[in-house]
Amino acid sequence: MQVTLRIMRFDPEKDKKPVMKSYKAEVEPTDRVLDALNYVKWYEDGTLAYRRSCAHGICGSDAVIINGVNRLACKTLIQDVGKTITIEPLAGFKVLKDLIVDFEPFFEQYRSVLPYLINNDPKPIKERLQSPEDREKFDDTTKCILCASCTTSCPIYWANPDYVGPSAIVNAHRFIFDSRDQAAAERLDILNTRSGVWRCRTIFNCTEACPREIEVTRAIEDVKRAILYGES
């Protein structure tokens, strides 16, 4: 079938501002939107720039706005988005070219929450023990692929780029609630600041945007409660 792709293009070497351009692509209804982007790049206009790698929703490269909604192009089927598909770069990040945005501020915020296990006890010879129940407490937030769909769907983030954003909080949550970790207090201090969790107004855009179906807003609320009541 033939679909029309309306793609927001921006070439920093030529354009002053982004322009919407239309392309036709031959695809199957069960193809991914990424397949349609590939069709355009490979057969219509080689200059189109976007990121992609695994093509099945794990690497987190190809989050874009599809018909107004943050989605992974490789996890969205043509049959689910209709015959005219509008594709734009993620909102809130600087556009570098076409659908490619600047991820550096995103990773900076990720790094700011100490996203790694901190445990200063001597390492045992074998594994540290953890009950299945304790393991379950942070299971949801281990699924994050750092695609930025959540952070770039958040109106608070659009207005305050200093806000650490849902994704960084998800990654802090993953350690705050890990029974093997010893630095929950430090992370809670970081998130208990002006740019931390209190910026969140529970709008739920992040939860809806997450391609991994992480309950992002719930994770943020868990962190807020941990700050207030010390439940970690």
Partner 1 sequence: MYHRHDAVIVGAGGAGLRAAIELCGKADVAVVSKLYPTRSHTGTAQGGIGAALGNREEDSAEWHAFDTVKGSDYLGDQDAIELMCQEAIGAVYDLEHMGLPFSRTEKGLIDQRRFGGHTRNFGEAPVMRSCYAADRTGHMILQTLYQQCIKHNVHFYDEFHVLDLIINDGVCCGVIAYELATGELHTFHAKTVLFATGGCGKMYKVTSNAHALTGDGMAIPYRRGLPLEDMEFFQFHPTGIYKMGILITEGARGEGGILLNGKGERFMERYAPTIKDLAPRDVISRSIYLEVREGRGVEGKDYVLLDLTHLGSEVIETKLPDITDFVRTYLGIDPVKTPIPVQPTAHYAMGGVPTDVNGRVLADEKGNVMPGFYAAGECACVSVHGANRLGTNSLVDIQVFGKLSGKDMARFCAETDYTPLPEDPEGKVREEIERLKLNTGNESAAKIRTELQAEMMDNASVFRTADSLGTIRRKLEELQERYKSVRVDDKSTIYNTELMEAYELGFLLDLADCLVVSAEARTESRGAHCREDYPKRDDVNWLKHTFAYQTDSGIKLAYKPVTITKFEPKERKY
Establish if 17 lies at the interface with partner 1 (CB under 8 A): no
CB 43 within 8 A of CB 132: no
* Whole-number Å distance between alpha carbons of 31 and 10: 26
Number of residues that bind partner 1 (CB under 8 A): 60
Q: Which is nearer to partner 1, 119 or 193 (CB)?
A: 119
Question: Strands 84-88, 63-66: parallel, antiparallel or unpaired by DSSP?
Answer: antiparallel
Strand positions, DSSP E, 40-179: 63-66, 69-72, 84-88, 95-97, 100-101
Establish if 127 lies at the interface with partner 1 (CB under 8 A): yes
CA angle 41, 46, 52 (to 5 degrees): 50
Establish if 126 lies at the interface with partner 1 (CB under 8 A): yes
Instruction: Compute how many other C-beta atoms are within 10 angstroms of the C-beta atom of residue 225.
Output: 13
CB 37 within 8 A of CB 87: yes
Question: Strands 84-88, 2-9: parallel, antiparallel or unpaired by DSSP?
Answer: parallel
Report the nearest approach of partner 1 to the CB of residue 13 (Å). Answer: 5
Among 4, 6, 8, 55, which residue interacts with partner 1 (rule: CB under 8 A)? 55
Q: Which is nearer to partner 1, 79 or 193 (CB)?
A: 79
Establish if 130 lies at the interface with partner 1 (CB under 8 A): yes
Instruction: Fill in the DSSP letter of residue 41.
Output: I
Establish if 93 lies at the interface with partner 1 (CB under 8 A): no
Of 19-27, 44-52, 149-157, 192-200: span binding partner 1 (CB under 8 A) = 44-52
Q: Interface with partner 1 by CB under 8 A: which residues?
A: 11-13, 30, 32, 41-43, 45-47, 49-61, 75, 77, 96-98, 100, 103, 107, 111, 115-117, 119, 123, 125-132, 135, 138-139, 142-146, 174-175, 178, 180-181, 213
